Structure 1
Amino acid sequence: MKTLHIFVCALLIAGMLVGSALVFTPKKALAQEETYKIAVVVHGSKTDPFWKPVKRGVKDASELYDDLEVTYTDTDVFSIDTFLGNLDTAIASRPDALVCTLTVPEAMDETLRKVIDAEIPVVAINAPDLRSPESERIPVLTYVGEDSYFVGVLAAKETLTRFTPRRAVFCNHQEGAANIKARGQGWADTMTEQGIAAESVVVSADAQQAAEDVATYLKEYPDTDALFMSNIRTTEAVIKRLVADGVDVGNNLKIAQMDISPSILESIQDGMIMFTLDQQPYLQGYLGVVFAYLNLKYGFTPPPAPVSTGPAVVTAADINPAKGY
């Protein structure tokens, strides 16, 4: 995994050096003193461990430049309405640039087009606008993150290299989020192409209730032997509940996972999770802010979307406890 991190950073640096990825069109005199304000708005909740490295990346990027002020806004509990309200509040504060997740592109389209028309650069992170045709997508400066549909495809393909499920289910913990729905679609499409019964099932955004939802589903469809989980807290709760129910997790029921945490890595080592997919959330927060700032101050045009931060497959063989990973 360290190799992947170094490779991504090396590519970005190389692109800057040769000028093939970043275009320089000065907007303001370099000597001009000004404070640049960037608003970062994400749909993630404060209690979701996935978003902690995103926030840390935003913080680290904000401390790079003396003339940069960054605000970071998330949700207390995942809610599309709250997220959209936070976005409106951030825009009303008149930032110089906006960094945000495109969680519900259709609902955000008109608002963000007005922002872009007002010459306020918008950088998308984590959740892309995947609508077709591409001409209908919000014309953001760039997008930093994973290709959500491909994540589902890769999770399915990695699962199929290990065994052929009878029924394969994706657990959608954020109903209404376009990127999470796309993950499930990629998973289901790939499994269905192989003649495997597959579907996406909406579970609660509350981890404990989601565990109940999954337990109920497995009782109704006992032939289910593969789950693709897309949230750390949900997976922790699901494993605990299913083990308590006597389910042989890791053998009779196999789990593919998205994202990394100490508990997820431990479950991989214990054989309860086959693998996880890392999308490097720190880079999403960090690069989102850096790209917005460089565009504001120097007119840099960042690499075109998508600036991919993953996914990378992490198995037990990739985990080195001595290095804390």
Structure 2
Amino acid sequence: MKRITKLLAAVVLAGVAATAATSAMAGSKGAKIFVIGGKADDPFWSIVKRGAEDAGKVVEAQGGSVTWLGPQNYDNLGADAADLIRTAISQHADAIVGPDWVPESMDEAFKAVVAAGIPLIIYNAGGLDAADRLGAMNYIGSDDYKAGFAGGEYFGNHDLKNVVCVNTLPGAANLRAQCAGLLAGVAKHGGKGVELPLPMSSFGNPTAVAQALKAHLLQNPDVVGVYTIGNVDANSAANGIMQAGLSDKVKLGGVNMDQTILANIKSGSQLFTIDQQGYLQGYLAVSILNGHVNYGLTVPTREILTGPGVVDESNVDATMAGVQAGAR
């Protein structure tokens, strides 16, 4: 994380210097940057969007713009996201940021970005493998397999060795990798687990998630750990555990967070969450592309990892201030 801190400091300083030079760039049109992300009402993606918008203040001061494009829902995620990428190309983007959620549906559109000579950064999903495959400048985000692995190790280290990964977006390659990492992490400690894939329409659906998890727990009474792939499903999973009458036995973990999740960790009703620092994903991606378009700047560290980090009772108080500010 020290590397990320140094990189962020460098980006911020570059932004300050660039802002100071705005008057000298009065004739420049600035950078027209498009950011592909999640739904507007998705709590995690609203944090990523805030990071992109905060970086966008420098972009706008230099005469440029940052445009956020997100799907209406996640029912047809790959195809819809590919259409958004093509929309950005058609709008004559100077640079594009996007997650490689569903490579089989999205890679062709990303390759069209590079073929058009438009600088590209892959963020949030896909990893450096996707950046290399697609010809992107950088990958910015967490390694989903490592994030899941950290969760699995946390369960294993707390003697919780039979777990289930509740995946409400099974079509997304990064989330399949996250569940695979979870199972590998707990297996390292002699445990086991399974992925519970649910229809993509169940993402953020409290009733669907709670009922499906309740049924799974009642059918598999040896399960002692539950992991969710997003904060919108964490409270639903907690309800499913409660409805199964297993709150004392089955412990909850997952990825991403909000004030409710942190309060649950503080009270002990949730064991941990994995933080991937979505704010940094949006902020760094926009800042780096703005510097590249305007000044030809590049960052030699092509894989810029913003996570994973574990938040539990030991550091939950220090994390709450960032959540209250809308940046974590």
TM-score range normalised by the length of the shorter chain: 0.7 to 0.9
CA distance in 1, matches of 2:66, 2:179: 33
1:90 aligns with 2:88: yes
Alpha carbons of structure 1 residues 247 and 230: separation in structure 2 relative to 1, 3 Å: same
Question: Pairwise mapping of residues 97-116 of structure 1 onto structure 2 (< 5 A)?
Answer: 97-116=95-114
Which secondary structure does the structure 2 equivalent of 1:301 belong to? coil
Question: Pairwise mapping of residues 70-219 of structure 1 onto structure 2 (< 5 A)?
Answer: 70-79=66-75, 80=77, 81-129=79-127, 137-165=133-161, 167-203=162-198, 204-208=202-206, 209-219=208-218
* Preserved contact between residue 188 and residue 199 of structure 1 (Cα < 8 Å): yes
Question: Pairwise mapping of residues 1-325 of structure 1 onto structure 2 (< 5 A)?
Answer: 8-13=4-9, 33-42=28-37, 44-65=38-59, 66=61, 67-79=63-75, 80=77, 81-129=79-127, 137-165=133-161, 167-203=162-198, 204-208=202-206, 209-248=208-247, 251-320=248-317, 324=321
Which secondary structure does the structure 2 equivalent of 1:307 belong to? strand
Alpha carbons of structure 1 residues 224 and 130: separation in structure 2 relative to 1, 3 Å: farther
Displacement of 1:324 after TM fit? 3.4
Supply the RMSD in Å over aligned alpha carbons: 2.6
Gaps of 5+ in 2: 14-23, 323-328
Which secondary structure does the structure 2 equivalent of 1:188 belong to? helix
* Preserved contact between residue 47 and residue 278 of structure 2 (Cα < 8 Å): yes
CA distance in 2, matches of 1:180, 1:59: 25
The equivalent residue for 2:20 is: none
Which secondary structure does the structure 1 equivalent of 2:164 belong to? strand
CA distance in 2, matches of 1:181, 1:323: 29
Displacement of 1:193 after TM fit? 4.4
Displacement of 1:129 after TM fit? 4.3
Percent same amino acid among aligned pairs? Answer: 29
* Preserved contact between residue 259 and residue 320 of structure 2 (Cα < 8 Å): no
The AA in structure 1 aligned to 2:210 is A
Tell me the alpha carbon deviations over residues 46-99 of structure 1, each in whole angstroms, 9 at most, x when there is no partner: 222111111111111111132221100112322313222222222221201101
Gaps of 5+ in 1: 18-28
* Preserved contact between residue 105 and residue 138 of structure 1 (Cα < 8 Å): no
The equivalent residue for 2:19 is: none
Which secondary structure does the structure 2 equivalent of 1:163 belong to? coil
TM-score computed with the length of structure 2 as normaliser: 0.85
CA distance in 2, matches of 1:75, 1:147: 23
Displacement of 1:218 after TM fit? 1.1
Tell me the alpha carbon deviations over residues 176-225 of structure 1, each in whole angstroms, 9 at most, x when there is no partner: 11111110111112333444331211123242212211111112212111
Alpha carbons of structure 1 residues 117 and 86: separation in structure 2 relative to 1, 3 Å: closer
Alpha carbons of structure 1 residues 16 and 284: separation in structure 2 relative to 1, 3 Å: closer
TM-score computed with the length of structure 1 as normaliser: 0.85
Displacement of 1:7 after TM fit? 6.8
Displacement of 1:311 after TM fit? 1.1
The AA in structure 1 aligned to 2:109 is T
The equivalent residue for 1:26 is: none
* Preserved contact between residue 46 and residue 77 of structure 1 (Cα < 8 Å): no
Greater relative contact order (Cα < 8 A, sep 6+): 1
Alpha carbons of structure 1 residues 161 and 77: separation in structure 2 relative to 1, 3 Å: same
The equivalent residue for 2:18 is: none
Name which of structure 1's ranges 68-77 and 102-111 shifts more when overlaid on structure 2: 102-111
Which secondary structure does the structure 1 equivalent of 2:283 belong to? helix
Alpha carbons of structure 1 residues 257 and 87: separation in structure 2 relative to 1, 3 Å: same
Greater helix fraction, Structure 1 or Structure 2: 2
CA distance in 2, matches of 1:258, 1:163: 20
Displacement of 1:303 after TM fit? 3.6
What count of residue pairs does the alignment treat as equivalent? 305
CA distance in 2, matches of 1:320, 1:16: 26
Displacement of 1:34 after TM fit? 2.1
CA distance in 2, matches of 1:104, 1:221: 31
CA distance in 1, matches of 2:319, 2:195: 37
